[in-house]
């Protein structure tokens, strides 16, 4: 299964050690699915995780964030944007994640934003799913 993780899901994994988002990231690191990641999306992850309020809530350091992102980059399937799909119809903040999903031929986009992403995914060829149900599906 080819999966893109939305930035909000990665942030949730970073902040909540017991949640489904954390389990999804751990499954990515264990290569239980193919994690799709573009350079642009990795840079977005980095910018969001390095925000002082997120570091404080997670009680993490810049070095720890870099280690996590390096580990994800080490197990990912790199996605190159052959074509820019903007606008996709998704919320403006979601365009980068959607472009990664399209160009990476994702099966699933792990997101909390089902309201917008379900329709966008249906139109563009991927499924939008919350982390909890996706974890159960991967582990089944």
Q: What is the mean pLDDT of residues 18-46?
A: 96
The candidate with the shortest Cα–Cα distance to 7, out of 32, 51, 41, is: 41
pTM for the model stands at 0.90
Task: Indicate whether 23 pLDDT > 90.
Answer: yes
User: Residue 25: pLDDT above 70?
Assistant: yes
79 by DSSP, 3-state: which? strand
At 61 the pLDDT is 93
- What is residue 111's predicted lDDT score, i.e. its pLDDT? 95
Q: Which two tokens stand for residue 27?
A: 């499954």
* Residue 13, domain extent: 2-139
Give the model's pLDDT for residue 127.
94
Strand partners, 108: 3, 127
Confidence of residue 90 (pLDDT cuts 50, 70, 90): low
Task: Write the CB contacts of 91 (distance below 8 Å, at least 6 apart in sequence).
Answer: 113, 116
- The pLDDT of 113-139, averaged and rounded, is 90
**Residue 84 belongs to domain with CATH number:** 3.40.50.1010
Domains identified in the chain, total number: 1
Tell me if 131 sits within 8 A of 121, measured CB to CB. no
């Amino acid at each position: 299964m080819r999966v893109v993780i939305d930035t909000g899901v990665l942030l949730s994994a970073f902040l909540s050690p017991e949640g489904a988002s954390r389990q999804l990231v751990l499954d990515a690191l264990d290569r239980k699915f193919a994690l799709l990641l573009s350079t642009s999306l990795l840079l977005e992850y980095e910018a969001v995780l390095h925000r002082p309020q997120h570091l404080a809530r997670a009680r993490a350091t810049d070095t720890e964030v870099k280690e996590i992102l390096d580990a994800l980059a080490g197990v990912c399937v790199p996605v190159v944007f052959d074509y820019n799909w903007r606008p996709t119809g998704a919320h403006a903040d979601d365009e980068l994640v959607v472009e990664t999903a399209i160009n990476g031929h994702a099966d699933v986009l792990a997101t909390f934003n089902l309201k917008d992403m379900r329709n966008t995914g249906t139109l563009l060829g991927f499924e939008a799913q919350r982390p909890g149900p996706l974890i159960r599906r991967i582990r089944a």
